């Protein structure tokens, strides 16, 4: 894969089964709980309580101002992969690779298909995404491990 500022990915090995982690990712009401960017707000999304391929769900967001975004699940493999996108065509993707009782979780922000992707660089999104993704993976880990504490 050719390096590009429009595909940003981070991985984290989490000491939990893939099924448990996937359940969190497939539950839109938990997205604000695990969001490391600080932009996803509220726990009452519009749409299904559990995501599946083609599902549409809305989220309250805030980046300087509050707004609502409608997402659609564009990739879905139960327990292994889930991805969604909205009108701008960039994709948030999670892939899970079981490793014994642990799971390697990869989160990607994929803006390669966005025609006006240069705006992401101009506005600083591509510089902020690595830290936001790492924070999301840490919050995801904390959430799935909280039952064991």
Per residue in 3-43, pLDDT (tens digit) is 677 788 999 999 999 999 999 999 998 888 988 887 787 76
Count of domains observed in the chain: 1
**Residue 138 pLDDT more than 80?**
yes
Tell me what pLDDT residue 86 has: 87
Instruction: Kindly report, residue by residue over 70-109, the tens digit of the pLDDT.
Output: 889 999 999 999 999 987 888 999 999 999 999 999 999 8
**Residue 134 pLDDT more than 70?**
yes
d(CA 92, CA 78) in angstroms, rounded, equals: 16
Q: Is residue 2 part of a domain?
A: no
Q: Is residue 1 part of a domain?
A: no
d(CA 23, CA 44) in angstroms, rounded, equals: 17
Q: Is residue 27 part of a domain?
A: yes
Is residue 83 within 8 A of residue 59, CB to CB? The reply is no
Residue 57, domain extent: 7-148
Q: 63: pLDDT confidence band, cut at 50, 70 and 90?
A: confident
């Amino acid at each position: 894969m050719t390096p590009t500022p429009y595909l940003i990915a981070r991985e984290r090995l989490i000491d939990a089964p893939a099924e448990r982690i996937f359940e969190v990712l497939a539950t839109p009401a938990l997205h604000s709980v695990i969001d490391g960017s600080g932009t996803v707000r509220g726990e009452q999304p519009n749409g299904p309580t559990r995501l599946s391929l083609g599902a549409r769900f809305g989220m309250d967001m805030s980046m300087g101002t509050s707004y609502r975004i409608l997402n659609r699940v564009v990739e879905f493999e139960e327990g292994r992969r889930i991805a969604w996108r909205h009108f701008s065509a960039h994709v948030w993707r999670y892939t899970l690779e079981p490793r014994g009782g642990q799971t390697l979780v990869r989160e990607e922000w994929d803006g390669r298909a966005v025609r006006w992707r240069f705006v992401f660089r101009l506005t600083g999104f591509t510089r902020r995404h690595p830290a936001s993704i790492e924070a999301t993976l840490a919050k995801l880990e904390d959430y799935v491990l909280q039952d064991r504490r």
